[in-house]
Structure 1
Amino acid sequence: MNAAATTHHHTSCLRCGRKLTSTKSVATGYGPTCTRKVKAAAKAEVVAQYKPHQVAKAEELIEQGGLIPLRGQIYLAVSSDGSQTYKTHRAACSCPAGIKGLHPCKHRIAAHILSLAA
């Protein structure tokens, strides 16, 4: 069974580690306070560096719980169709777009947003 094909339900916040109680928070992996902090971080620094449609895709990835922390600022990112996972950091990603390196992928931008929200 592919690990990416399974649905992840988080019992603690992926950012701060507190226990999640609401259904929406369990599904996304972030509590309401951390969700606000992540969105504020995205607007502050990231919007100036990336195109708006890239930031929107990265925010959507975070909201869907598609970035799972591994260690430090390295994350496991789930592909759009849920069939694969990639290791990502704000500086690099193992997805096809990240390997080509022409433009930052949504996984890298999402990792960047989360690193700013820490």
Structure 2
Amino acid sequence: MTEHTNCLRCGRVLRNTKSIAAGYGPTCKAKVRAAAKAEIIATYKPHQIEKAHELIEQGALIPLRGHIYLAVSSDGTETYRTHRAACNCKAGLKGHHVCKHRIAAHILSLAA
């Protein structure tokens, strides 16, 4: 897990050790969670949303530009570029279902 000294959402300096570990300040973390409720719950299945929240809470989605993110794999050995519309992970490239990286990017784009 990577520690961030600035909030991944707003860019403010993080001072609390819990916030540094998560990558989000308390206000931004609340906004990210609130953004997921309306649109996300209606779009995705509960187990998919839970996996996406785990990625966000672990700080495994790093903003690159716009709403494009660098997603870290579960074992930390690979990275993927993801957006709410596409992801270059194995599941994303197969296109059978929406991967957790895309769902997490969708949640973060709604919170911006």
**Matches of 1:8 and 1:61, distance apart in 2:** 12
SS, match of residue 109 in structure 1: helix
Give the alignment's TM-score, normalised by structure 2. Answer: 0.97
1:48 aligns to 2:42 (yes or no) = yes
Q: Which residue of 2 aligns with 1:3?
A: none
Q: Which residue of 2 aligns with 1:13?
A: 7
Give the alignment's TM-score, normalised by structure 1. Answer: 0.93
Q: Which residue of 1 aligns with 2:65?
A: 71
Q: Which residue of 2 aligns with 1:98?
A: 92
* CA deviation vs aligned residue, 1:82-109 (integer Å, no higher than 9, x gap): 1100000000000000000110000000
Amino acid at match of 1:115: S
Q: Mind listing any 5+ residue stretches in structure 1 that lack a counterpart?
A: 1-6
Instruction: Give the RMSD, CA atoms, in angstroms.
Output: 0.7
Identity %: 75
State the aligned residue count.
Answer: 112
Following TM superposition, where does structure 1 have runs of at least 4 consecutive aligned residues deviating by more than 6 angstroms?
A: none
Q: Mind listing any 5+ residue stretches in structure 2 that lack a counterpart?
A: none
